[in-house]
Amino acid sequence: MNLLVVESDAELAQGIAALLQEENFVVDTVYDGEGAEAVLATQNYDAVLLDLSLPRMSGSDVLARLRWRRNSVPVLMLTEHESIEDKVFCFSAGADDYVVRPFDARELVARVKALIRRRLTSMSTALVCGDLRYCPATREFLLNDEPLGLRRREHGVLETLMLRQGRTVSKAALINSVYTLDEEPNQDVIDVYIHRLRRHLMTSSAEILTLRGMGYMLRTRSQLTI
């Protein structure tokens, strides 16, 4: 899953990104409001961490424009004060949650995970593809009820395929799900991750189908190609 961290303090932004990357998130970082506005107008994220006090455009203005575009991505505001006024302001502006600096790293990660869980509440308790199960609350894969050990980017590719099960997912979409805007991987690297995932799923009733020139699809082996 992809997150955007918008924080004027570059060192803090990189520290937050490192924390979230340890939890298998793909994290982009932006350091001012105009940069955030440009990225949010063209990229899709599963959650945004947004500094209230930003140069070149305030965090509240960035959020207002985001909601004006009817983008409902969960937003966690980063504020410097825990006053009732700031709390009311954040929620009135359209934020889903907020955290006050200095914050505990464990609390920040927990709040981000909670935002994403709430967004996934429309899903069933687990997504199932044959004997492969995905639990949105924990982001864990189970194969025959046993945890499936995956590397970070393998996990990201399979997660994207599972969330779009039965639909074609392009290589570009898979790259966006596992690499940040600052990274420029060759599209052929996705073939490597698909190969590894197929090895993990060799005995599974779930399979990854290649659709030449289009991308990949996760389906059960009993399904027919239409």
10 assigned to some structural domain: yes
Percent of the chain that is helix, strand, coil (3-state, to 5): 40, 20, 40
Same domain, 90 and 148: no
| CATH for 27 | 3.40.50.2300
Beta bridge partners of 209: 217
Same domain, 138 and 202: yes
CA distance 126 to 105: 28
26 assigned to some structural domain: yes
| CATH for 205 | 1.10.10.10
Among 16-20, 73-77, 88-92, 176-180, the least confident range: 88-92
Same domain, 68 and 9: yes
Q: What is the mean pLDDT of residues 198-222?
A: 93
Please report the pLDDT score of residue 1 as a whole number. Answer: 85
125-139 pLDDT, tens digit per residue, is 678 999 999 987 788
85 assigned to some structural domain: yes
225 assigned to some structural domain: no
For residue 123, is pLDDT > 70? no
The domain total for the chain is 2
Q: Which two tokens stand for residue 26?
A: 């793909």
Contacts of 225 (CB under 8 A, 6+ apart): 209
Domain boundary among the residues 99, 119, 139 is at 119
132 assigned to some structural domain: yes
Same domain, 179 and 77: no
In 183-213, which positions are buried (b, 16+ CB within 10 angstroms) versus exposed (e)? eeeeeeebeebbebbeebbeebebbbeeeee
Please report the pLDDT score of residue 4 as a whole number. Answer: 96
- Quickly count helices (H) and strands (E) in the chain: 8, 11
Please report the pLDDT score of residue 89 as a whole number. Answer: 78
Contacts of 146 (CB under 8 A, 6+ apart): none
pTM for this entry: 0.76
Same domain, 24 and 108: yes
Domain boundary among the residues 119, 143, 158 is at 119
Same domain, 74 and 152: no
For residue 23, is pLDDT > 80? yes
Domain boundary among the residues 92, 119, 146 is at 119
Q: What is the mean pLDDT of the chain?
A: 88
For residue 28, is pLDDT > 90? yes
Pairing of strands 140-143, 146-147: antiparallel
Same domain, 25 and 101: yes
105 SS3 class: helix
Domain that holds residue 191: 127-220
For residue 82, is pLDDT > 90? no
- pLDDT band for 10, please (50, 70, 90 cuts): very high
- pLDDT band for 226, please (50, 70, 90 cuts): very low
